[in-house]
Structure 1
Amino acid sequence: NRKAPRRDSGESSTTWRPAPPRPRNSLPARIRARTSDLRARRLWGNPADDPNNTQRNLLVLTVGMKQKAGVDSIVRAFDLTQFTVVLFHYDGAVDGWDDLPWSEDAIHVSAKKQSKWWFAKRFLHPDVVEPYDFVFLWDEDIDVVTDSFDASEYLRIARDNGLHISQPALVSGRGAWPITSAVEGVEMHRRGVDWNGAPCPDAQGNPRDVPPCAAYVEIMVPVFSRRSWRCVWTMIQNDLTHGWGLDLTWHRCAADPGGNLSAVDAMGVVDAQGVRHKAEPTLKEQGEGGVGLDGADAVGRRRAAEWDAYNSRWKTPMLQELHEQLLEHDEQFAEHHEGESGTD
């Protein structure tokens, strides 16, 4: 620290001000460690003798005990020699997973009543994700068993098709937009329609390659490449926990103009490796209501408010138009499925 004189109301006084941090390049190159990883390290032995790491991908799930059996099925569908498993616990019940054979090697992070985007913003910084090729950032209520999801085959398809942001197709269960539904007889697809059955027409009625009809992947089961995640992480708003609106804008992170790769080219839905959405609203159960408002409704209101906030920051009428269309479809869906279990 150093002293710096300061004039205040004509009188001389002295205040303490911290010295500016030393530039990073003042450190010796051999000691700089710009990136990290999520690899657990031993507390004993020589660091040079630590086992080689083969886990080049991340499987990240935000979980609660009610979905334990389903989460176990998801993890077992992944080759754990290729994947590091990260569990974000929103109910605080970390010890309840100890009986699963893979849990001891997983990374567990706990914070009650938080969403996966809250966790991701704080614990998946791009400099931590840098060593990994792909990040599977999934919801917990996903069925991978019925259609024999194969994560290794999924990775092959993503690499072969140059997909930087992708998702498995939904064989059944509700998605946000029709493009996420499985298409028979193809390995993957890049284009679809909106809930009006139109390919996102412009004012003249011509189809456009814009979300959610192209360059679209939903926030439910996205898969990101290392490059795209660095950009997507920056888009996650620190104060908006539900992530609504992200999937309609993160096509900006998939495109690589320098490499002549458009967002449509770099995004896709993988049909050959589909999953099913069980639509079990466990996160809504974490909400806290008030007078005349239950917890689930309180969560819903928060989501709507966050959509408005995100849209105002993005400053485009597109998001508001799509939000209105989505709300209209939600009402129709609710009327058609009245009496069934809700969606998260």
Structure 2
Amino acid sequence: MATKNTPYGTETLPEGIISTKSDFEMRSLSGHEEKNRNKPKNLLAFAVGIKQKENFLSSDFAVILFHYDGILDEWREFEWNQRAIHDLGVDNFNTERYLSIVKEEGLEISQPALSPKSTEWHHQLTLRQQGKRVHRRIDEKVGNMSCENFTHPPCTGFVEMMAPVFSKASWRCAWHMIQNDLVHAWGLDFELGYCVQIDPNT
């Protein structure tokens, strides 16, 4: 039950994971802090094609690029490219089919699988697996870690902060973790499990 100090929807969160105040400095829930980085104070968002590439200079802007031609690799030469946010291709995504699977499987938090051909993946569990419409665990390696007998994210029940889909109840909880000092969401995907009651072994 929510109290004065615990907003409705946050009952499952560990003590200290949310704060009533913020100093507006970015922090990581994973504990990995970026040191001595100039924090951009401006946002630059553009719909771009590869022909506009030569018009961009390194800057002190946070950058969002919407690639209408689907060409991302040729932007990698820029120093700021790794910090930029690039759009997701949704050419093969069927919204109605996805939502029907979410409802049938009772998924509180989920994400569309990424194409195995994608160059922008970080965790193997997020890649589409042939012949499976839902996958909750992986037995292969994630980075240097073997997932064979591991029962925690990112080996099981992992949803990356790339394109998450929330039920109303889980969003009510997750919303309270998305604070002004967590705008980049690093580490937040490892904490989303607190917002759903799941068996990590499934």
Rounded Cα–Cα distance in structure 2 between residues aligned with 1:143 and 1:186: 21
User: Which amino acid is 1:176 matched to?
Assistant: H
TM-score by length of 1: 0.33
Rounded Cα–Cα distance in structure 1 between residues aligned with 2:48 and 2:178: 25
User: Which amino acid is 1:149 matched to?
Assistant: F
Is residue 254–residue 262 contact of structure 1 (8 Å, CA) maintained in 2? no
Task: Summarize the Cα distance change of 1:67–1:247 in structure 2 as closer, same or farther, 3 Å threshold.
Answer: farther
User: Which amino acid is 2:127 matched to?
Assistant: S
- Uncovered stretches (5+) of structure 1, i.e. residues with no partner: 1-62, 69-89, 92-138, 202-206, 256-260, 266-344
Tell me which of 110, 113, 118 is aligned to 1:166: 110
Measure how far apart 1:149 and its partner are: 1.1
Measure how far apart 1:168 and its partner are: 0.8
Does residue 1:186 correspond to 2:132, yes or no? yes
Is residue 175–residue 181 contact of structure 1 (8 Å, CA) maintained in 2? yes
Larger relative CO (CA 8 A, sep 6+): 1 or 2? Answer: 2
Measure how far apart 1:241 and its partner are: 1.9
Spell out the pairing of 1:28-107 with structure 2 (5 A cutoff).
Answer: 64-66=45-47
CA RMSD of aligned residues (A): 2.9
Measure how far apart 1:173 and its partner are: 2.5
Is residue 67–residue 140 contact of structure 1 (8 Å, CA) maintained in 2? no
Spell out the pairing of 1:202-221 with structure 2 (5 A cutoff).
Answer: 207-221=149-163
- Uncovered stretches (5+) of structure 2, i.e. residues with no partner: 1-43, 50-61, 64-84
| Residue in 1 that maps onto 2:94 | 150
Deviations 1:137-170 (A, max 9, x none): xx7611111xx21101100001111111111111
| Residue in 2 that maps onto 1:245 | 187
Deviations 1:122-143 (A, max 9, x none): xxxxxxxxxxxxxxxxx76111
Measure how far apart 1:64 and its partner are: 2.8
SS at match of 2:113: strand
Aligned length: 125
User: Which amino acid is 1:64 matched to?
Assistant: A
Rounded Cα–Cα distance in structure 2 between residues aligned with 1:254 and 1:140: 29
Spell out the pairing of 1:115-154 with structure 2 (5 A cutoff).
Answer: 141-145=87-91, 148-154=92-98
TM-score by length of 2: 0.54
- Greater Rg by CA: 1
Rounded Cα–Cα distance in structure 2 between residues aligned with 1:185 and 1:225: 25
Deviations 1:26-77 (A, max 9, x none): xxxxxxxxxxxxxxxxxxxxxxxxxxxxxxxxxxxxx932259xxxxxxxxx
Tell me which of 195, 211, 233 is aligned to 2:143: 195
Is residue 151–residue 200 contact of structure 2 (8 Å, CA) maintained in 1? no
Measure how far apart 1:264 and its partner are: 5.9
Deviations 1:274-306 (A, max 9, x none): xxxxxxxxxxxxxxxxxxxxxxxxxxxxxxxxx
Is residue 154–residue 190 contact of structure 2 (8 Å, CA) maintained in 1? yes
Identity %: 39
User: Which amino acid is 2:46 matched to?
Assistant: M
Measure how far apart 1:251 and its partner are: 0.9
Does residue 1:228 correspond to 2:170, yes or no? yes
| Residue in 1 that maps onto 2:122 | 176
Is residue 180–residue 217 contact of structure 1 (8 Å, CA) maintained in 2? yes
Rounded Cα–Cα distance in structure 2 between residues aligned with 1:263 and 1:221: 21
Task: Summarize the Cα distance change of 1:234–1:67 in structure 2 as closer, same or farther, 3 Å threshold.
Answer: farther
Is residue 217–residue 247 contact of structure 1 (8 Å, CA) maintained in 2? yes
User: Which amino acid is 1:143 matched to?
Assistant: G
> 4+ residue runs of structure 1 moved beyond 2 angstroms?
63-68, 261-265
